A and B are shown apart, each in its own frame.
Chain A
Amino acid sequence: MIMNKYDIEKSVITHAYTPGLQIKESVIVRKVRRLPIKGEVIVNIGDIVDYNDIIAKSKIPGDPYTVKASYMLKCEPDEVPRYMIKKVGDAVKKDEIIAKFTGFFGLIKNIVTSPVDGYIESLSTASGQIIIRETPKDIAVDAYIPGKVIRILHNEGAIIETNAAFIQGIFGVGGENHGEIVVAVDSPKDILTEEHIIRNYKGKIVVGGALVTGEALKKAIEIGVKGIVTGGIRNSDLRSLLGYDIGVAITGYEDIGLTLIITEGFGKMDMSYRTFNLLKKFEGELAHVNGETHIRAGVIRPEIIIPHSRITANYNEQEKLEAGMKPGTTVRVIRSPYFGKLAKVVSLPPELRKSKTESYVRVVEIELDNNQRVIVPRANVEIIEE
């Protein structure tokens, strides 16, 4: 086929390749733990901390409440100071009278009370409005993972480092959680059903196979399971779990009683053997999980961190940049057809090829597990790090 002017122009556009998710037995994990506002850091460089140790704390200013004092006193805004009982900066209790107008020998009484416990932040003689700010609330940030403090972020937090197994999921919901790993199924192809969820799993991170059912999730929440890690989930079950449909994949703040991490995708998807075997290997050990997912520029994927000291990660190895795709690289197909299949790269044809959709795209020739050789767009595979 002869490419026309626009096809040639289109051919200039190339697609970025999806980086593989990390599935590592031993790696140096560093977590930045930061307060949402400035505060006091209470650890020092070199300190050894546990996952639930507080490393920094602060007081977050309370919410401000507006009080339309001039309306309530029935006076002009610039007259409000005249009727104030409390002054700016004073502490006040909920329902306490802060301003009062008495007229006609005590027959007319207009009062202003505080809607909250807090203090008077400001009084405007232009609008007649008083701002009362709630009492500050204590906030703190913990270490999330056990390890060593390697850096202090002045007035903000610290960086904690540990040697751990590290597995990234593709999508998750629910925030940080901690629990012992337990593998509830025999194979990564199995479906995690409610029968698999037993009382003993309370407080644990339960690993399933290709799918977790809605019933299993419900039972897990009832029992008090801390986390579920599985290959896939049906969209309808996710909807039931959350009570709504997710529009954009920015998650981590859901209050659902557990953390759910999906390693492969939506629908029934066998968990990769590599992930499954690694989790199996660490069965019985304490894991720290976070379902937070941000799919946009600066992507954040959910994670499972299992600190251990069996194999120590090599710092130099850590710095090595990820290599690109070349013949022999193991990849996983991440779009239909062949979705989820593992394959080896056979060749990387430099020229654009016409796909089944008639688009001209950069492709990769791969050999599937069953020795079948197929050509797929390069954008539709991810590298599996060996």
Chain B
Amino acid sequence: MKFILVTDVGSTTTKARLFKRTETGWRYVISGEAPTTVEAPYEDVTMGVCNAIREVEELTGLTILNHEHEGIIVPFNEGKGVDFYCTTSSAGGGLQMLCLGLIKEITAESANRAALGAGAIVMDIVALDDGRADYEKIKRIRSMRPDMVLMAGGADGGATGLVLELAELLKAADPTPRLGEGYSLPLVYAGNRDLRSHIKELFSDKFALTIVDNLRPVLEVENSEPARRAIHELFMEHVMSHAPGYTKLMKWTDVPIMPTPAGEGLAMQLIASRFQSNVLGVGLGGATTNVYSIVDGRFVRSVSANLGMSYSICNVLKEAGIDNIIRWLPFEVDKEDIENRLRNKMIRPTTIPDTLEDLLLEHAVAREALRLALEHHKTIATRLKGVAVAKTISERFERLGKELEETYIKMIDIGIIAGTGGLLSHAPRRVQSLLILTDAFQPEGVTRVFQDSVFMMPHLGVLSTVYPDIAWEIFDKDCLVRLGTVVAPIGSLEEGQDAMDITLEIPNGEVLQKEIRFGEIIKIPLPEGVEARAIIRTQRGLSIDMEGRRELETTVMGGVVGVILDLRGRPLRLPEDAEKRREKIKTWFKSLDLYPEEAYEEDKAHDHE
């Protein structure tokens, strides 16, 4: 094998990435990009794919496209073609699903997690106890145009009558598939196995029904793998094959087309398995933000469908509120002006910041988008609810209420944060993306921070299903940018009080010592590829690890930014007073050399016309 080509057919852009085996192993070579051609007048995704590949051809001189018989030349032979081709896709809005379950916090929640884990956007979650009357649920289902439905409900041998009521409600609502009336809507049934014959009777004529093992065979177990696999198969068989040009594209690929977020999720899992660490990953997009967590081997994905940096920028404004956005700016602003600027970005989403003020504003929005996306993720990454045996109904509901808060995502347990997406990749200084991730997620203890160099996590994710070692080799060398390590003790002290001292023993023999006061954030350069032994001691009132200890000996990873010593406290609290807050932000930004000096000079950062 010499060449591998992978594409991602995004909703607006199709991105091709070429990989090559060199003397030093597999490497990323070049990218080609072109607008996606899923919409009219083209209505054939392969046109966009060919255009993106053509750009790769022009940049490399390699012939990849088969001009005689359409498609891609596979394998590489006599200087032409590639040895392997695969693709991910999120064109046309990705995979949009409706989930149903009996109890909102038990089977409906499991259905939601399974659909999200398979890379879907969940349009709604319907449960018997979701607070809506039946007619409201039916109206909602009728107004949706999903690509697929996942229905769970009842443990094996458990509830039947109520699950059937829910099934009949779905049948009566008769949801219209997004891809038109001539299309049988795929339905995955992953509920009580005793009802399979009834389910077949109800749905076989109008739905493309697939029955899989119960998502919650018993309350204590969530078995999402069969449902997830069925979703992927149906995505290929039904959804993709009805999208314009996909039948052709499916013939070109060597492995099934995968939803883009599923590819991205695999890449995050690859990081977790290779580094043997808990990972919190994020894909900050223009329209949606995906958060992935792999904690103690459990993989969970959440998608915040309307949190993003271009199409959805005003939804971040709406959800976070203007005050939460401007709190990250080091200069005084007019709220009305900021709102208008964000609205203008929403209506012209492909524009890019051309002033420092605009750049800082987008970075401020990114912090809030990421913060909200993590909050959302925590509501999904929860312990299984309803497993404890409750004696009475009221006790059970009381317990469910408490369990709502029980996410198992604790930042002190997260060893790696990994970010991808346009805003992070295009940040002019890498330290900017590191601080955006730090401010939004507030890592605790010692956390390594990575980011995607060029958007290729979905590509490497799908590739890893066939060639995991090659995918990792490219991932390690050309995709994962090591930004550095954040050292952030938990707790709070008085401003200016001695807070932490750290000794770094660098492999070249150099020993660095630093003493940091509370309220400060500083950067110690430590190059990429270098690891240093660190001895960290915090003052009383601060702790540095999950045991609550004040001393830690560990290894810190270098990176393009280095080691960040963040003594701003956890949780991070910004001063209430606006002027003091702006001063504080300015001090932190300057300490990390985050932006050019002009960014902090009054009026200079503003537009000059």
Contact = CB atoms under 8 A, between A and B. Distances in A.
Interface of A: 6, 9-10, 12-18, 37-38, 61, 63-66, 68, 77, 121-122, 124, 126-129, 131, 133, 170-171, 234-236, 245-249, 265-267, 293, 295-298, 334-339, 341, 355-359, 361, 376-377, 379-380, 382
Given A6-B481, A131-B172, A246-B314, A377 B426 contact: no
Contact of B318 (A68, A247, A356, A357): A247
Given A18-B348, A336-B354, A358-B429, 17 more contacts: A10-B425, A15-B352, A64-B173, A65-B138, A66-B165, A66-B168, A131-B168, A235-B339, A236-B336, A248-B306, A248-B311, A248-B314, A266-B347, A355-B354, A356-B354, A358-B428, A379-B352
A13 B314 CA distance: 25
A10 B426 CA distance: 7
Interface in B137-176: 138-139, 142, 160-161, 164-165, 168-169, 172-174, 176
Contacts of A341: 609
Contacts of B430: 6
Given A6-B430, A245-B318, A335 B352 contact: yes
A242 to B, nearest CB: 12
A121 B172 contact: yes
Contact of B344 (A63, A126, A267, A338): A267
B164 A124 contact: yes
Contacts of A377: 351-352, 354
Given A6-B560, A297-B36, A297-B38, A335 B358 contact: yes
A85 B276 CA distance: 67
Interface stretch (B27-35, B62-70, B376-384, B439-447): B27-35
Given A171-B347, A249-B346, A380-B354, A357 B315 contact: no
A245 B287 CA distance: 17
A16 B12 contact: yes
6 contacts: A16-B13, A37-B176, A122-B172, A124-B164, A133-B172, A337-B607
A318 to B, nearest CB: 13
A298 B455 CA distance: 23
Nearest to B456: A9
A334 B314 contact: no
A380 B354 CA distance: 8
What are the 9 A-B residue pairs with the smallest beta carbon separation, nearest first? Answer: A247-B315, A358-B428, A64-B172, A127-B164, A266-B343, A267-B340, A337-B607, A266-B340, A235-B339
A79 B315 CA distance: 52
A3 to B, nearest CB: 12
Contact of B339 (A126, A127, A236): A236
Contacts of A126: 160-161, 164, 198
B196 interface: no
Interface string B258-296: 000000000000000000000000000001000000000
A66 B165 CA distance: 9
B77 to A, nearest CB: 27
Contacts of A68: 165
A170 B347 contact: yes
A171 B314 CA distance: 14
Contacts of B311: 248-249, 295-296
A170 B351 CA distance: 14
Contacts of B312: 247-248
A127 B165 CA distance: 6
Nearest to B337: A267
Contacts of B12: 16, 297
A380 B609 contact: no
B550 to A, nearest CB: 37
Contact of A66 (B59, B134, B349): B134
Contact of B596 (A14, A124, A337, A358): A358
Contacts of B173: 64
A334 B341 CA distance: 11
Contacts of B425: 10, 13
A245 B343 CA distance: 11
Nearest to B319: A247
Contacts of B176: 37
A66 B161 contact: no
Nearest to B343: A266
B39 interface: yes
Interface residues of B, number: 75
A336 B198 contact: no
Most buried by B among A68, A297, A380: A297
A357 B356 contact: yes
Contacts, number: 195
Contacts of A297: 11-12, 36, 38-39, 91-93
Given A6-B453, A358-B596, A65 B134 contact: yes
A297 to B, nearest CB: 4
Contact of B352 (A61, A127, A339, A380): A380
A355 B596 CA distance: 12
B212 interface: no
A15 B336 CA distance: 29
Contact of B35 (A13, A16, A61, A171): A16
Interface in B354-369: 354-356, 358-359
Interface in B289-316: 306, 311-312, 314-315
Contact of A298 (B39, B181, B608): B39
B348 A12 contact: no
Given A16-B35, A247-B314, A335 B354 contact: yes
A359 B428 contact: yes
A344 B339 CA distance: 30
Nearest to A382: B348
Contacts of A338: 609
B317 A245 contact: yes
Contacts of A6: 430, 453, 481, 560
A357 B359 contact: yes
B424 to A, nearest CB: 11
Nearest to A32: B40
A38 B181 CA distance: 9
A116 B353 CA distance: 56
Given A38-B181, A121-B172, A265 B343 contact: yes
Contacts of B181: 37-38
B164 A376 contact: no
B123 interface: no
Nearest to B608: A337
A266 to B, nearest CB: 4
B574 interface: no
B223 to A, nearest CB: 25
B168 A356 contact: no
A267 B334 CA distance: 12
A265 B344 CA distance: 6
A345 to B, nearest CB: 17
A376 B354 contact: yes
A334 B355 contact: no
Contacts of A296: 11, 93, 287, 311
Given A129-B165, A171-B347, A337-B607, A13 B354 contact: no
A148 to B, nearest CB: 22
